[in-house]
A and B are shown apart, each in its own frame.
Chain A
Amino acid sequence: MAYGAMMVVSPSSYEEAAAALREASASGKRVRFRGGGTKLDWGNPVPDPEVEISTSRLDRIIDHNAGDLTAVVQAGVPLRRLQDALAERGQMLALDPPPGADDAATVGGILAAGDSGPLRHSYGGPRDLVLGMTVALSDGTIARSGGRVIKNVAGYDLAKLFTGSLGTLGMILEVAVRLHPLPRRTATAIGECDGDPGPVARVASELAHLPLEAERLDAAALSAGRVQAQFAGAAADERAVEAAEVMRRAGLAATVEDGEGMWAAVRSAQRPAGSLVLRVSGLQRQLEAQLGVAGGSSIVARAASGLAWIAVSEGSVEAVESIRRELSPSPSVVLDAPREVREKVSVWGEVTRPAVSLMRNVKSRFDPAGACNPGVFVGGI
């Protein structure tokens, strides 16, 4: 292997994956894990790794226990393929992040990146859907935690630790996930309003507190301000009509429709191609401020959870800093950004020191050699 070139390994078993990781680590190499390759540059910019271990051949759906609403899948299974297979039995994994180019995003990659979409509103994030996880550590250990049943508290919940760790602790090989029934019937209420984001934000907050149990509830500032609420179940239409009524009362133009197109649009607006994207961990009370952020070319807010994805078409360090000031003190992470911006900006924002030093302890216990994706994470981990 020539100096500077990256060696790519595509193991087809867990043992092979663990061995490749162990060898790379033992020879002091830096390793990155690759799923669909849709979020490889998230995190701090780092030099290219010397070794890349791909999950492209770890792509089997091992088990779909429809009766138990669980599945066991290898990390390299593309989410799209998994959803298609589950849908044949009327089920889904309640995870709908932006699918990436060619629907390439894999289950392992989505978990490692901690990405999520509109279904987050009612089903929680990826952390909430994982029942068990098998990982490879840099010393070649293959470790399982959790289980395959929907309820289990035996042992530490290492799956939570690895979810969102951006490949810095080890390689995710396999996960057991909780499934949900695919709703038979859905209906979406959509309310729109130009200009001032106030009315949209107020309606979204009102809906978040009503016991309507929306399946998804987003507020967005795209070409216009918009709030959309999806309902699922036998009475989906009735509830959507009720929500549309709330929207109208607040002066929004409201309709009820099937809405799948609108949800797809929101999903992709979370990550518009070529834009800089900042994910804000805010609070519900901040919704109006999030939607009104100056310079945001498209803004998608998971209205009830305080999470927002703010895209800027001309991404710059100043743009990031000004958004951060505007939404201070909410933490935020730069997801997509041109390399030159990424090199100058603080990707992870401020993180308090004691928490970072605890995270370092975790890193050095799981990956003492520092082989796994070094440098990309919070605090330079």
Chain B
Amino acid sequence: MPDLTSELRRICGDDRVVTHPQALRTYESDGLLQYRAVPRIAVLPDDAEEVRRIVTACRDAGVPWVARGAGSGLSGGALPVEEGVLIVLTRLRRILEVDLLDQRVVVEPGVTNLAVSHAVAPTHFFPPDPSSQIVCSIGGNVAENSGGAHCFKYGFTTNYVTGLQLVLADGEVVDVGGKELDVPGYDLVGAFVGSEGTLGVATRITLRVVPRPEATRTLVAFFDHTSEAGQAVSDIVGAGLVPGALEIMDRLSIEAAEGAVHAGYPNDAGAALIVELDGARAECDAAFGDVVSICERNGAAGVRIAEDEAERELIWRARKAAFAAMGRLSPNYYVQDGVIPRTRLPEVLERIDALSREHRLRVANVFHAGDGNLHPLVCYDAAVPGEPERAEELAGLIVAACVEAGGSITGEHGVGVDKKRYMPQMFGEGDLEAFQRLRCAFDPAGLANPGKVMPTPRLCGEVPGPYRQHPLEAAGVAERF
């Protein structure tokens, strides 16, 4: 690709075009280390115009490309294509506009999730809060439709993106949506969010932010068993309460997290349930007592209420450390991201338990209990022959159990390369073909992040027949629409 390399150097200068194999290894994986691929070239544009020129150069050379944000994705979405170009967006990190009056922020894609909330503090905040929010980029959040601990009440990234500037794979720059809502036309913003980098690059993102809640009240309740914690969640939701966060950790994840951060969780607890209420102070105060008594009624052995921000942080510290802390208990682990209807929680947890025993591997569970998003962590040791394979099989069976219960293969981490083989469990051939139609409308040549999301490679045919013009359009009247 000598021509493409020199073209990219013309666009970005020598320093921002990486071709040395050793240097390229920085980018060989995203947050899911099981997959590795070294791209031919990595390029670090400075602004949207450079992105446009890079994508155009790739188009001219017929070379596929992958956009990469912070590389914290957990499904291999930013895994490079070996023969392709990796477009690293971390230098596009300007906050372009903070418009509090209209409750909008306009940012470049490389801005971190937390930086958005900081930009609108202290009066407002950006609700989607993935645990990775210190590092992950808004571009990545948009591509994955990321969630976080507070989605049960606040929703996901898709509920907060109002406008996008896109660079399509043919080099066209298209603005969709805006600061306004219900902008005339198809909801292409809605279609793009969650498309995992396969429809183009988002180079400018307009987000809705909301007033920071007046009050926040947090507690953690400890139970002997996850089923009691699960029942408490059902009762809270059944009482018509909508907490900001409802998180459950099981025995194994408590043990791991406690060993790492010493948040004061009892080591013999079978489950911890974090409940955070936020909103108008009067409302929080009224509901908080109900939550405490629901926990007690379900057999909570202890309820710890955060009296100040420091105590709240301590409660959350254990939860936020849960993934990383697994490293203390197990040399390797697989994070799954299945979703189930929350009411099926007890039976699915039992099933996971049984599977875990059959496969002689431990499974820790940390989950967003309000919306039934499980994060089973399958522990294994890659050095023990046969364990990685058993772990993979077990992870697959857990996903299948979620789908069987009426749920989903992924709640927030995306399909990427890791879960594309599970797609046929959720979607039939006609469904997948319909997905492909969208893909072809945006990127008929298939250059944007190929090999992700769809279980098998597909090409785009020509559109059968010419676009059928409406008579008004033919008459030139459509110019005015």
Residues of A within 8 A of B (CB): 44, 46, 65, 67-70, 90, 114, 124-125, 127-128, 135, 137, 141-145, 147-158, 160-161, 163-165, 169, 180-184, 205, 208-213, 231, 233-235, 238-239, 279, 281-285, 304-307, 330-331, 333, 346-349, 351-352, 354-356, 358-366, 368-370, 374-375, 377-381
A-side interface mostly: loop
Contact B431 A145 (CB under 8 A): yes
Which of the residues A153, A180, A231, A355 comes within 8 Å of B410, measured between beta carbons?
Answer: A153
Distance between Cα atoms of A142 and B155 in the complex (Å)? 28
A140 to chain B, nearest CB (A): 9
Residues of A within 8 A of B440 (CB): 365
Q: Is B354 an interface residue (CB 8 A)?
A: no
Contact A238 B368 (CB under 8 A): no
Per-residue CB proximity of B336-380 to A under 8 Å, as 1/0?
000111110000000000000000000000001001110000000
B195 to chain A, nearest CB (A): 6
Contact B407 A164 (CB under 8 A): no
Which of the residues B144, B190, B368, B373 comes within 8 Å of A160, measured between beta carbons?
Answer: B190
5 inter-chain pairs at a CB distance below 8 angstroms, sorted by A residue, are A128-B155, A209-B211, A213-B280, A360-B467, A364-B441
The 6 closest A-B pairs by CB, nearest first: A160-B190, A370-B468, A235-B282, A143-B434, A380-B478, A181-B240
Residues of B within 8 A of A (CB): 100-104, 123, 144-145, 147, 151-152, 155-156, 158-159, 168, 172-176, 178-191, 193-195, 211-214, 234, 237-238, 240-242, 279-280, 282-283, 285-287, 339-343, 368, 371-373, 406-415, 419, 423, 426-428, 430-435, 437-442, 453, 463-465, 467-473, 477-478, 480-481
Q: Which residue on chain B has the smallest CB distance to residue A47?
A: B471
Which of the residues B282, B432, B467, B471 comes within 8 Å of A238, measured between beta carbons?
Answer: B282
Contact A153 B414 (CB under 8 A): yes
Distance between Cα atoms of A310 and B36 in the complex (Å)? 56
Which of the residues B372, B431, B470 comes within 8 Å of A380, measured between beta carbons?
Answer: B470
Distance between Cα atoms of A67 and B341 in the complex (Å)? 9
Contact B481 A143 (CB under 8 A): no
Contact B423 A154 (CB under 8 A): yes
Distance between Cα atoms of A260 and B29 in the complex (Å)? 56
Residues of B within 8 A of A355 (CB): 174-176, 185, 188
Contact A161 B430 (CB under 8 A): no
Distance between Cα atoms of A46 and B469 in the complex (Å)? 13
Residues of A within 8 A of B287 (CB): 233-234
Contact B481 A285 (CB under 8 A): no
Residues of B within 8 A of A374 (CB): 468, 470
From B152, B191, B279, name the one whose CB has the most chain A CB atoms within 10 angstroms.
B191
Residues of B within 8 A of A65 (CB): 341, 343
Contact A143 B431 (CB under 8 A): yes
Distance between Cα atoms of A352 and B368 in the complex (Å)? 41
Residues A69 and B183 in contact in the complex (CB < 8 Å), given A147-B407, A369-B465: no
Residues of A within 8 A of B103 (CB): 208-209, 284, 304
From A155, A233, A351, name the one whose CB has the most chain B CB atoms within 10 angstroms.
A155
B425 to chain A, nearest CB (A): 9
Residues A141 and B430 in contact in the complex (CB < 8 Å), given A165-B186, A285-B101: yes
Contact B184 A365 (CB under 8 A): no
Residues A356 and B185 in contact in the complex (CB < 8 Å), given A149-B341, A211-B212, A365-B440: yes
Distance between Cα atoms of A261 and B259 in the complex (Å)? 58
Q: Which residue on chain B has the smallest CB distance to residue A90?
A: B240
Contact A378 B185 (CB under 8 A): yes
Residues of B within 8 A of A135 (CB): 434
Distance between Cα atoms of A301 and B234 in the complex (Å)? 37
Residues A152 and B410 in contact in the complex (CB < 8 Å), given A144-B428, A331-B180: yes
Q: Can you name 14 extra interface pairs (CB under 8 A) apart from A181-B241, A346-B480, A364-B463?
A: A144-B431, A145-B427, A147-B407, A148-B341, A149-B408, A151-B372, A153-B410, A156-B453, A164-B187, A205-B101, A210-B211, A354-B175, A358-B176, A379-B473
Residues of A within 8 A of B368 (CB): 151
Distance between Cα atoms of A285 and B174 in the complex (Å)? 26
Which of the residues B145, B434, B442, B473 comes within 8 Å of A158, measured between beta carbons?
Answer: B434
Distance between Cα atoms of A127 and B156 in the complex (Å)? 12
Which of the residues B100, B174, B213, B453 comes within 8 Å of A354, measured between beta carbons?
Answer: B174
A165 to chain B, nearest CB (A): 6
Which of the residues A68, A155, A282, A358 comes within 8 Å of B427, measured between beta carbons?
Answer: A155
Residues A211 and B478 in contact in the complex (CB < 8 Å), given A141-B433, A149-B372, A307-B182: no
Contact A379 B408 (CB under 8 A): no
A375 to chain B, nearest CB (A): 4
Distance between Cα atoms of A46 and B184 in the complex (Å)? 18
Contact A233 B194 (CB under 8 A): no
Distance between Cα atoms of A160 and B188 in the complex (Å)? 8
Distance between Cα atoms of A128 and B160 in the complex (Å)? 10
Residues A160 and B191 in contact in the complex (CB < 8 Å), given A151-B156, A333-B184, A346-B480: yes
Contact A369 B468 (CB under 8 A): yes
Residues of A within 8 A of B478 (CB): 379-380
Contact A144 B188 (CB under 8 A): no
Contact A365 B282 (CB under 8 A): no
Residues of B within 8 A of A354 (CB): 172-175
Residues of B within 8 A of A364 (CB): 441, 463, 467
Contact A305 B341 (CB under 8 A): no
Residues of A within 8 A of B279 (CB): 211, 213
A320 to chain B, nearest CB (A): 12
A67 to chain B, nearest CB (A): 4
Distance between Cα atoms of A177 and B214 in the complex (Å)? 29
Contact A284 B101 (CB under 8 A): yes
Distance between Cα atoms of A168 and B438 in the complex (Å)? 15
A278 to chain B, nearest CB (A): 12
Which of the residues B190, B191, B415, B471 comes within 8 Å of A375, measured between beta carbons?
Answer: B471
Q: Which residue on chain A has the smallest CB distance to residue B419?
A: A154
Contact B419 A68 (CB under 8 A): no
Contact B437 A366 (CB under 8 A): yes
Contact A281 B183 (CB under 8 A): yes
Contact B407 A375 (CB under 8 A): no
Residues A233 and B406 in contact in the complex (CB < 8 Å), given A164-B182, A331-B184, A375-B470: no
Distance between Cα atoms of A156 and B101 in the complex (Å)? 33
Residues of A within 8 A of B104 (CB): 283
Contact B144 A153 (CB under 8 A): yes
Contact B186 A151 (CB under 8 A): no
Residues A347 and B408 in contact in the complex (CB < 8 Å), given A125-B181, A156-B195, A283-B102: no
Q: Which residue on chain A has the smallest CB distance to residue B440?
A: A365
Distance between Cα atoms of A155 and B452 in the complex (Å)? 10
B190 to chain A, nearest CB (A): 3
B359 to chain A, nearest CB (A): 24
Distance between Cα atoms of A90 and B237 in the complex (Å)? 12
Contact B438 A365 (CB under 8 A): yes
Contact B280 A365 (CB under 8 A): no
Distance between Cα atoms of A155 and B198 in the complex (Å)? 11
A356 to chain B, nearest CB (A): 7
Q: Which residue on chain A has the smallest CB distance to residue B182?
A: A281
From A184, A348, A379, name the one whose CB has the most chain B CB atoms within 10 angstroms.
A379
